[in-house]
C-alpha cells in the first residue's frame, strides 16, 4: 500500500484539474452532460431496484422462520 501511495503521490487540486481537462479533451463539452445524465439514471435505477428487492427478501426470511 505504501509503495502505491509513493508511486501515485498525493492527489491534489492540480491533479484533479489535469484529469478534468483530459476528460474535456476526450469527450468534448457536449458529451459530458449526456454522460453524467446516463450515470445519474443508472444510479437511480439501481436504488429503485434495491428498494424494491428489500421487502421481497424480508418476506422470504419471515416464511423460513415459520
| pLDDT single digits (tens) 5-62 | 677 677 788 888 888 888 888 888 888 888 889 999 999 999 998 888 776 555 555 5
> pLDDT value at position 9?
74
pLDDT top residue among 51 and 1: 51
- pTM score of the predicted model: 0.47
> pLDDT value at position 37?
92
Q: Kindly list the distances between the CA atom of residue 5 and the CA atoms of 2, 8, 9, 31, 48, in Å, as whole numbers in the listed order.
A: 5, 5, 6, 32, 37
Amino acid at each position: 500500500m505504501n509503495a502505491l501511495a509513493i508511486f501515485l503521490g498525493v492527489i491534489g487540486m492540480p491533479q484533479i484539474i489535469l484529469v478534468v481537462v483530459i476528460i474535456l479533451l476526450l469527450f468534448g463539452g457536449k458529451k459530458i452532460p449526456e454522460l453524467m445524465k446516463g450515470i445519474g439514471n443508472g444510479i437511480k435505477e439501481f436504488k429503485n431496484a434495491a428498494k424494491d428487492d428489500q421487502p421481497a427478501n424480508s418476506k422470504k426470511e419471515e416464511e423460513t422462520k415459520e
